[in-house]
Each structure stands twice: as C-alpha cells, then as structure tokens.
A and B are shown apart, each in its own frame.
Chain A
Amino acid sequence: MLNVRRSWSLLRRLGCRTEVQTSRTSSCSSGVFLSDAGLVLKSQSTDVFQNLALEDWIDANVDLQRRGVLLLWRNRPAVVIGRHQNPWSECDLPAMRRRGIPVARRRSGGGTVFHDLGNLNLTFFASKKDYDRRRNLKVVVEALRRVSPGLAVHATERFDILLNGHLKISGTASRLSRKSSYHHCTLLHSADRSALSAVLRPSCPGIHSNATPSVPSPVANLLDHAPTLQWEELLDGLVHQYNAEFGLSSASSLVDPTDESTFPGISRMEAELRSWDWTFGKTPKFSVQTGLELEDSSARCSAQLHMEVKSGRIQSCDLQVPAAWLPVRLSGELTDSLVGQRFCPQRAAAGVASLLRAQSGELQSRLHILCDAVISVMG
C-alpha cells in the first residue's frame, strides 16, 4: 500500500547537504525516513519537464553520500532525447506537434525514448562511489521475476532489459556530476506502441551529424506478456526489491515537483528544460542536404538545399534552384533571410513573409512554393 508522507518534512531532512543526519531514534512522524540509508519517492506530476527538473533538483540538493534515492515517475506522452542528440533526426516533430507531444532533452546521455502513462521511469540516485547500473538493473529484473514468475527477462551488456531474449522493455541512461550520480531507466508496461513508432523517426531527410545516435530496437509491453501484472503491483514489487537489495525499509512518498517551498529553485530548473535554447539550441552542429521537388501548374523542377545548423540556428544556407523556375536573385534573397534564424518552421515562415509580400504574380507563387519546401525541411 502506498504510504503517503508529507513531503516537506522528509525533504527538509534530506534537502540540505550541510544538515547533519539526525539520530535513528527520532520520534518525528517521518522518522522512518531518517533511520535508513534510502528513500523512495513517487512523483505526482505527469509533466516531463517537471519530472526532469525534479531529477535535477534531487541530484543537486540531496546529500547522497550515505543514502540513495529511488524516484518513480511517469509522463503524459512525450519524446525524450539524450543530452547530445539531434531532435530533428530522432523524432518526427511535425507529427508530434499535430498530436500535442512535446520533445524534451534530458541531461543524461543515451538515446531517444517515447514516454507515456504506460511507461514507468525509475531513477536511482547515488553517490558517484556507489554508482552501479548493473546492481540497479538487478533490482528491476528480480522484481519482475517476482511479480511475474516465469517471465524471461534479463539485462544486457548495454544495460537494456530484454524480454524473451530480443524484445526491449527498458533502456538506460545516466549522469555523473560533482559528487553524485543518477541512473535512470524506462520500463514499458502498457505504452502505446503505435504512437511510439509514429513519432520515433526523422523529421526530415538528409541530416548529417555527429550527434549521438539512437540504437533502434523492437520493443514490447510487459502487459502483453504478463496480462495480470497491474501497474500498482509492478511499483510495489520494485519498491520491495529496491529495499531488499539495499537492505532498507523505506516506504514510498508522493512528491509534487511544482512545490517550490519543498524544492526551492525547481521552477527555474523546469523553465530551463522547457526552453528552446536547451531543447533545440544544444543540438550538436549538423548539416542538411536534400533535394526539393518544386511544381506549379506550368512547370516542375528539382532544387538542392544545403544548410549548416549550429546551436539550432542556420549558419549558412545554399540553395540551387534552376534560374528558369525562379530568378537567382530571389533564391539568394531567400537564403539571406534565413541565415541567423532558428532552424524552426515558424521562425522561418515569419522571416520570409516580407520577402513574399514584395513579389507578385507567378514570381510570388513560385517563391511561395520554394519557401514552403524549404520550411518543411525544418520539421
């Protein structure tokens, strides 16, 4: 059974790094959290940015030298890319926009994952000294085997968890900071697999980049292979196994990552994670090279587009459009108007608007077709 505690009391004890650990025999109502070297938290939020901010906050503020923390969380549909990935190549941004699915960049490494309410996220916080992904995954695998005996699950060298030898149900990523570490992993219980495949593909062709790539894998949901495994039962099993593995007796606590009084500074962390500068601006330098097919009622042609994008902004743009389709002067004005802009369809559209207004007739219509083709490359 979920044992709810007032988060302010438990976190007051753990929040400040300089606070001395109080004695085991404290009679305070949240005494159970003081006694052991562990803590289990469950986030009340299903917002990916709030939850990522919560991870940042715990990593920065909780003293992990003598105790670890396990955080359990899930998000409304979102795509989460790794620290050094390229969102345009990892996911279909227009498809996500249509479905209201945001993209978030996390601070740990690794590849791209799709989150929804059927995916459980586990974050194991520990000191750098106690950083041990294999041990953490052992917790997950053994918990699964307990709640669903006979389930064929195992952890791989890459720290994935596979079902039946080949179906991925969990992926891992981690972050090491000054004194602390966190290792987080997904766990597919009942995610929407068709939504997953619809969004985990590139926004546009022709991207060349040295950003860290994802390793695509066929996935499966636990529920499809263990139909009686309920969500709460899964969580209870994981908490139980975490306690067993680390010799603890922590009950879990609900926490609200929007509560600035419990987590001072967390809303600033959330704002940073939501920002364009973090999500898109941190994309490693890349180039886009692709052909554009242009057609109107009287003619069609092929054009070549080459853009260099750095920090999410267009550094250079080269457009080879046959002069018979559109005067070179106009193609040149288009590329000039794009340089320095964010690699973003809305910004680009705004940037070319005045250029379009200055034309008329067939020139305007062809320029419009060209603009649309270029903008569609931006996701």
Chain B
Amino acid sequence: MAACGLFRSLSSSAATALPLLSRPAPLSALRLACKPSVRRTVASSSRLSAALKYTDKHEWVRVEDGGIGTVGISNFAQEALGDVVYCGLPEVGTQLAQHDEFGALESVKAASELYSPLTGEVVEVNTLLADSPGLVNKSCYKDGWLIKMTIANPAEVDALMDEPAYERYIRSIED
C-alpha cells in the first residue's frame, strides 16, 4: 500500500482522501437557451449533443454545432493534478488519432500526458491558458477547455461514457 501522499494519481485504485466528486456546476451552463416558443423533448433534441462525454483518462468531449468537439479535463482530473502551472498544447492543424499523446499539463505533481479522446484535426487551441493555466483548475468545463478538434469518426463519441457512467467509473476507482 503506497504511503499516503498529498494527492492521488489520476487513475488511483487505492482509497483516497479526495473530496467527493461534486456535481459539475456547468451542467446548468450546458442547458442551451432555447427560444421560449420552441419546445423540445430531450430525446429528440439535437442540442443533446452538447452533453459531455467522458474518457477513462478523465477527459471530456462536448460536441458543438458544426461537429467540432471541445476537449477538456474533468473535475476529478484537475483535483488530482493540483495547480496547473503550464499547458503544453498542440499546434492548430495537428492530426490526432484516438489515444495519441497530444500534449501535457504540468503541475506541481508532474507533467501529465494528455491523450486524444477522438480522431480528428486540431482546429483551435485555448490561448487563454498560456497566461492563465490555472483556468484548468478553476473552470475545467468552461474557460479551462484545452482544444477543439474535428470529429473524423462520430462512433468514437458514442462509445465514450455519459455522465452517469463516468460518475460510476469515478466511484469504482475511488473504492
């Protein structure tokens, strides 16, 4: 049993002192403003694509209009990382295959590799992070997004965990 440290690694299976995963507040931010006169059921709404999907590496993907995926790391991940001091992100135009290393987040804990959740091309990189890497900790679902990429294979998105599945996954690794 590893000695108790100040923090746990991202996929720790040991008992951890991490605080309970808080329900991500940005869920409310994801509810897109609909025109009052338009009523849509959740099941049929194309806006459902704005819900987050998660990888087992604790990254999230949000599919935006135009089939672009925004990628970031989850609250669980940012807490485990500690204060991010540098975001090493790829150049726009970089081609990524699913699971490719695309950069690293440096925190006091370590340089942690980032793995692409999908296959696609990087179309935008969050330039705010250059001067404010701490946004990844403070606003991991919103202002702390990392990259935006095209989605070459939508089936890859479907295969990712939805929020309830991700929460179950977190609980299983915390046990």
Instruction: Tell me the A residues contacting B by CB distance below 8 Å.
Output: 82-84, 107-110, 128-135, 173-179, 181, 183, 210-212, 282, 284-285, 311
Residues on B with C-beta less than 8 A from A132 are 2-3, 5
The 7 closest A-B pairs by CB, nearest first: A109-B111, A128-B9, A174-B110, A109-B106, A176-B112, A84-B86, A176-B110
Contact indicator B106/A83 (Cβ below 8 Å) = yes
A84→B11 contact, CB < 8 A:
no
**Interchain nearest-CB distance for A322 vs B (Å):** 34
Residue numbers in B under 8 Å from A109 (CB-CB): 86, 104, 106-107, 110-111
Cβ contact within 8 Å between B86 and A210 = yes
Query: Which of under 10, 10 to 19, 20 to 34, or 35 or more describes the interface residues of B?
Result: 20 to 34
| Chain B positions 101 through 144: 1 when the CB is less than 8 Å from some CB of chain A, otherwise 0 | 10010110111110100000000000000110000000000000
B9→A84 contact, CB < 8 A: no
Q: Say yes or no: A135-B3 contact (C-beta < 8 A), given A129-B9, A210-B131.
A: yes
Name B107's closest neighbour in chain A (CB-CB): A109
Q: A84-B104, A132-B2 are in contact. List 6 more A-B contacts (CB 8 A).
A: A82-B106, A128-B11, A132-B5, A176-B109, A176-B113, A183-B110
Are A175's CB and B86's CB within 8 A? no
Max chain A C-beta neighbours (<10 A), residue from B9, B91, B109, B111: B111
Assess whether B106 is in contact with A84, with CB atoms less than 8 Å apart: yes
When chains A and B are docked, how far (Å) is the Cα of A130 from the Cα of B86? 24
A173 CA / B112 CA spacing, docked (Å): 11
Chain B, residue nearest A211 (CB): B86
Do A128 and B10 touch across chains, with their CB atoms under 8 A apart? yes
B3 touches A134 (CB 8 A): yes
A83 interface neighbour in B9, B57, B88, Cβ under 8 Å: B88
User: Does A311 contact B91, Cβ atoms closer than 8 Å?
Assistant: yes
Output the least CB separation between A33 and chain B (Å): 22
- A311 to chain B: closest residue by CB: B91
- List 30 A–B pairs whose Cβ atoms lie within 8 Å, in order of A's numbering: A82-B106, A83-B111, A84-B86, A84-B104, A107-B104, A109-B86, A109-B104, A109-B110, A110-B111, A128-B12, A129-B9, A130-B2, A131-B2, A131-B9, A132-B2, A132-B3, A133-B5, A134-B3, A174-B109, A174-B110, A175-B111, A175-B112, A176-B9, A176-B111, A178-B57, A181-B9, A212-B85, A284-B86, A284-B130, A311-B91
> Is residue B48 contacting chain A, with contact meaning CB distance below 8 A?
no
Tell me which residues from 89 to 105 in chain B have a Cβ below 8 Å from any Cβ of chain A: 91, 101, 104
Within 8 A of A (CB), among B5-37: 5, 9-14
List, in ascending order, chain A residues with CB within 8 A of B101's CB.
177
Tell me the complex Cα distance, A177–B2, Å: 18
A128: B residues at CB distance < 8 A: 9-12
Docked CA distance A131–B13 (Å): 12
**A181 lies within 8 A of B110 (CB):** yes
CA distance A242 to B18 in the complex (A): 28
| Whole-angstrom distance between the Cβ of A356 and the nearest chain B Cβ | 33
Which A residues are CB-close (under 8 A) to B113? Answer: 175-178
Q: How far is the CA of A46 from the CA of B164 in the complex (A)?
A: 51
Chain B residue contacts of A179, Cβ below 8 A: 11
A83–B104 CB distance below 8 A? yes
Shortest beta-carbon distance from A159 to chain B in Å = 9
CA of A183 to CA of B57 in the docked complex: distance in angstroms?
20
User: Given known contacts A129-B12, A134-B3, is B86 in contact with A108 (CB within 8 Å)?
Assistant: no
A84 contacts B13, CB within 8 Å?
Answer: no
B47-103 interface with A by 8 A CB criterion: 57, 85-86, 88, 91, 101
A110 to B109, CA, bound (A): 10
Instruction: Give the distance to chain B from A100, nearest Cβ to Cβ, in Å.
Output: 28
Contacts of A178 in B (CB 8 A): 57, 113, 115
Q: Chain A residue with minimal CB distance to B57?
A: A178
Interface centre among B57, B112, B131 (most CB of A within 10 A): B112
Complex Cα–Cα for A212 and B107 (A): 10
- How far apart sit A181 and B7, CA to CA, in the bound complex (Å)? 14
B86 touching A129 by the CB < 8 A rule? no
Give the docked Cα–Cα distance between A210 and B2 (Å): 35
Expressed in whole angstroms, the Cα–Cα distance for A173 and B91 within the complex equals 25
User: Are A175 and B110 in touch, CB under 8 angstroms?
Assistant: yes
| Best-surrounded residue of B11, B57, B106 (most CB of chain A within 10 A) | B106
Contact of B130 (CB < 8 Å), options: A133, A177, A285: A285
The answer on a CB contact under 8 Å between A129 and B2 is yes
**Residues of chain B within 8 A of A181, CB atoms compared:** 9, 110
The CB with the most chain A CB atoms within 10 A, among B9, B10, B57, is that of B9
B103, chain A: closest CB distance, angstroms: 10
